[in-house]
A and B are shown apart, each in its own frame.
Chain A
């Protein structure tokens, strides 16, 4: 399997299809990360698309190709902010409201309590969780794509578990 850096180099060398590998590799963690933040699968997918397209157009500016993922997540965060600003000027185009009704397969939220607890975590924990669980990566792979020491990843995961357990206990005790 090509590394992120190899895919980036190939994309910059005029082979955009190589970028498709990166999209396939990171769409699930990125969308999972965004769903946690936005609580809206459709919006998360739209923002992920925009982030991927923007990162493609900006690939040449990425200095450290091994740090593609943190960079991509950073772009996605910026797009989220812009999207929030844009909502103030929301306006309707022909029939858009009718179009998605029922057509996209919107899943029931499987574990809303856990999802909302993850959404409240600090950014650095959410990134690790998105890659580990939505991206189904091992801790070593997470360390590699985030360009972090393996020990830092396991520490972040441990800390995230501790915070999550606290939050879940408190929420589940309330209900």
Chain B
């Protein structure tokens, strides 16, 4: 065997593939320094890859979540997906929308909202009706949600994720208290409660009930406008109409509806854009449904639906104060500031400071303070993680750099290297982000 043949067969040999000329390779390696060096280099790389595979493969299984979604999908199919059936019928002939748009485009005045020839509907009635809404139950169906916080852009409505929100609204039109149940997230279902400047997250899969400070302003800034204020939907529509960026079409209903409603379709003039559907109760003038479809030429693809029910019906006390499991892990961080205050520091400086202070707390065994810099963990949970409780020295922190990954624009990455008490070193990259619950403060979000 010569060197060329040896190197060609090296991987099959190292991988113990049947038929690899093991004896010949071993003879050649015994005689050839260069090939022995080559084999050692490949082995070293393989070892590194095995370590990487083991490190990355050690996480939890996604099987329960996948099978749960599949079960829900099957159930929806069996139930006939009534909502989608209605929509499929509605948009069975997309060309009709386009033709109708052309017919009615001329009827849409700058500030007028017309529906059909001579059939006039003023959204002002809806805006007015919504001023008196003090409570509502909202169902948000999204085509598919890969990551919370993203508006879905997927083509499988049957896999939709649903978020349910119950909200009580004060005289000022702002929330008094709310609950949001999300069936789908990377960590399974979770529920958010908010009331009196405190938010709680009940993460079912981890059996954690975590409470932290969160002001009304922060909640309002994070809520989709459609939930908090259906008026904003119609106001935005008025603006788009005034700017000539939308056209309204009335759609002839071809399906049974539980209520007498007007169905209005807002069709953007562009070949690609969002087609919006408003379903308004004829009697109460309240918005019953608001839907979005992605328009691709004459094709419409479901994106998102908001269903508003139980307007002004009293919300059961148990909705805002649910019975939690007896063994739920309660983590209350509502009485303290979380993260590190930015003050006059730049974003990079405060992020490096957060990581440095976190490790300093670990070295000083001040787990309580460390848990405030990386919220969501209790001090006990940090203490129990050997990798954290064994840190003895900081070798280096920084330099911080912006996170350029999609959807991570507000995050900053801070490389670190620390030494455990046994002398071994550990390095990684921490992710630090602004803490929305308390503006001006930054928290560690992961990577440690």
Contact = CB atoms under 8 A, between A and B. Distances in A.
B52 A31 contact: no
Interface string B218-237: 01001110010000000000
A94 B49 CA distance: 40
B67 interface: yes
A49 B447 contact: no
A40 interface: yes
A15 B412 CA distance: 45
B97 interface: no
A89 B59 contact: no
B156 A57 contact: yes
B149 A48 contact: no
Interface residues of A, number: 78
Interface string A120-144: 0000000001001110101110000
A2 B163 CA distance: 37
B168 to A, nearest CB: 14
Interface in A91-110: 91-110
Interface string A58-88: 0000000000000000000001001111110
A90 B407 contact: yes
A16 B148 contact: no
B192 A42 contact: no
Given A92-B224, A94-B227, A158-B11, A140 B17 contact: yes
B315 to A, nearest CB: 16
Contact of A102 (B52, B57, B199, B446): B446
Contacts of A97: 149, 222, 433, 436
A86 B146 contact: yes
A52 B161 CA distance: 15
A86 B151 contact: yes
Contact of A134 (B56, B212, B408): B56
Contacts of A95: 180, 192, 194, 199, 201, 214, 219, 222
A96 B448 contact: no
A112 interface: yes
B67 A90 contact: no
Nearest to B431: A106
Given A24-B61, A154-B11, A99 B148 contact: yes
Contacts of A28: 53, 56-57
A54 to B, nearest CB: 6
Interface stretch (B40-48, B124-132, B249-257): B40-48
B208 interface: yes
Interface in A152-175: 154, 157-158, 161, 164-165, 168
A102 B224 contact: no
A99 B53 contact: no
Interface in B397-448: 405-408, 426-429, 431, 433, 435-437, 443-448
A151 B57 CA distance: 26
Contacts of B149: 90-93, 96-97
A138 B15 contact: yes
A106 B61 CA distance: 14
A88 to B, nearest CB: 9
A98 B201 contact: yes
Contact of A101 (B42, B158, B443): B443
A107 B59 contact: yes
Contacts of B357: none
Contact of B73 (A53, A91, A103, A115): A53
Dominant SS at the B interface? mixed
B302 interface: no
B256 to A, nearest CB: 28
B62 A133 contact: no
Contacts of B444: 102
Given A86-B151, A89-B153, A150-B17, A100 B59 contact: no
B62 A45 contact: yes
B10 interface: yes
A109 B447 contact: yes
Given A89-B153, A99-B185, A46 B147 contact: yes
A86 B152 contact: yes
A48 B186 CA distance: 10
B81 interface: no
A87 B18 CA distance: 47
B287 interface: no
A91 B224 contact: yes
Contacts of B407: 43, 87, 90
A90 B142 CA distance: 13
Contacts of B140: 93
A94 B201 CA distance: 11
B194 A133 contact: no
A154 B18 CA distance: 12
Given A86-B153, A95-B194, A133-B49, 18 more contacts: A17-B67, A32-B57, A41-B56, A42-B147, A83-B150, A84-B406, A86-B146, A95-B199, A98-B436, A101-B375, A101-B435, A103-B206, A104-B186, A109-B428, A110-B428, A133-B52, A139-B12, A165-B42
17 contacts: A16-B70, A27-B61, A28-B53, A42-B446, A43-B405, A46-B186, A50-B144, A56-B70, A57-B156, A79-B154, A86-B154, A93-B163, A94-B165, A100-B445, A101-B374, A114-B52, A118-B52
